[in-house]
Amino acid sequence: MNKLVVEGGVPLSGEITVQGAKNAVLPILAASIMSGESCVIHNCPWLRDVEKTGIILERLGCNLKRGTGEIYVDASDINKCRIDERLMREMRSSIIFLGAILSVCGRAEVGLPGGCPIGLRPVDLHLKALRQMGVLIEEQHGYLRCECGRLKGANIHLDFPSVGATENVMLAAVKAEGTTIITNAAREPEITDLARFLNKMGAKVNGAGSSMIVIDGVEKLHGTEYSVMPDRIVAQTYMIGALMTGGELLLNGVECAHMQAGLSALTEMGGRIKCEKNKAYIKSTGHINSVHIIKTMPYPGFPTDAQSPFMALAAIADGTSVFVENIFENRFRHVDELVRMGADIKVEGRSAVVRGVKKLYGANVEAYELRGGAALILAAMAADGRTEISGIEFIDRGYENIEGNLSRCGVRIRRIRV
């Protein structure tokens, strides 16, 4: 088992090139199986979730080749239409393969993904939409057995702007018979990135990024090359680190337009931020203000994935901050660990009241999910003394070489094997 060891109290200062977005590259890799040819995906981050997606692609019959920063997917010989339960449980976001497999095979058998530490993660919206597109779905023995022949375009209204459900419908619709209109679609930038990739493969997707997406089914798609958008949550995580440690940081390869809610909160909390082209610069003003209230919402509202990193910042702010987690039902697992480091946080249902303290102290803490784990690293960087963080396999799912990036900016962090 590995751990991260952090000796706090050193400013995070320097330059980091931000990785490609995990939540964009996963649906794009799933979509690549519909090309029937080869695709090259550039700016592909090297993450545990990308490795797991690669295993699924190979199980379906793809040939993969990994370069530095890109991945080659040869999807000319898809010969399986099944994802086994263990793989689905290991990475529940693989449910977005369902739409793509149905589009290629006309049938699919995938394990039920089940929940994860942050919530039950139901897939009812995915299944309701696919049934509207003519898919017969049987749920038995922990598997979804699906038959559809050729998918049919439909008017799909999502009861909630689910990112995954929007993506699954997009993948099912691009080669369906007729037109599909998705209303109340998710508007996250990762949806727009997926649409751009699909259109480069020859699809006809319009309106991505708005709450109404119109997809005209086409007969065939083809291979293409594509460069994945930057990871907006990883970017905000590093910016918070600079603020928490009194440093200054230049981020390369970012899209500030994707991070408006977070940048507004960072400015309110005392960050001096400059954005130009694909760079973002942040400098601490030496004082961290509390934030009145942060409510997580679907994009362009405040992103749930940035909630725990921002809570680490609020833990050492001057004053009291309130967080309301509206997206997932169990996304405060990092609170107990932050309290172990001296934070003063009270959770009441979906709300957490954070009273800033002068200092955090190093402790032995555990990551229970990806973004909560990142929050612990941030707290450890600002704390007095040594912190050991276990459960870092969660952090490796979404942060590429986090200890390398941070130590290059002065942070005393290393990975140890225990």
Give the CB-nearest residue to ligand EPZ: 164
Give CA–CA dist 118/93, Å, rounded: 13
- Closer Cβ to ligand EPZ, 238 or 383, answer by number: 238
Residue 95: CB minimum distance to ligand EPZ, A: 8
Q: Verify whether residue 409 is a known catalytic residue.
A: no
Cα distance between residue 76 and residue 166, in whole Å = 26
Which range of residues in 124-132, 140-148, 199-207, 253-261 is near ligand EPZ by CB under 6 A?
124-132
DSSP string, 325-341: --S-TT--THHHHHHHT
Catalytic residue among 44, 62, 116, 256: 116
DSSP-derived secondary structure letter, 301: S
Q: Which residues 6+ apart lie within 8 Å of 101 measured at CB?
A: 33, 60, 81, 83, 108, 110
Interface region with ligand EPZ, contact rule CB under 6 A, candidates 142-150, 162-170, 337-345, 385-393:
162-170
Q: How far is CA 398 from CA 21, 124, 227, 392, in A?
A: 9, 25, 18, 11
Q: Does 126 bind ligand EPZ (CB under 6 A)?
A: yes
Judged by CB under 6 A, the number of residues near ligand EPZ is 24
d(CA 253, CA 173): 31
Least Cβ distance, residue 125 to ligand EPZ (angstroms): 3
The stretch among 18-26, 82-90, 314-322, 357-365 that binds ligand EPZ (CB under 6 A) is 18-26
Cα radius of gyration (the chain): 21
Residue among 305 and 396 whose Cβ is closer to ligand EPZ: 305
129 binds ligand EPZ (CB under 6 A): no
What interhelical angle do 260-268 and 232-244 show, nearest 10? 10
Query: Does the footprint of ligand EPZ cover residue 370 (CB under 6 A)?
Result: yes
Asked if residue 119 binds ligand EPZ (CB under 6 A), the reply is: yes
CB atoms within 10 A of CB 153: 20
Residue choice 162, 180, 224, 290 for contact with ligand EPZ (CB under 6 A): 162
The residues that touch ligand EPZ, with contacts defined as CB under 6 A, are 22-23, 26, 93, 119, 121-126, 160, 162-165, 186, 304-305, 327-328, 370-371, 398
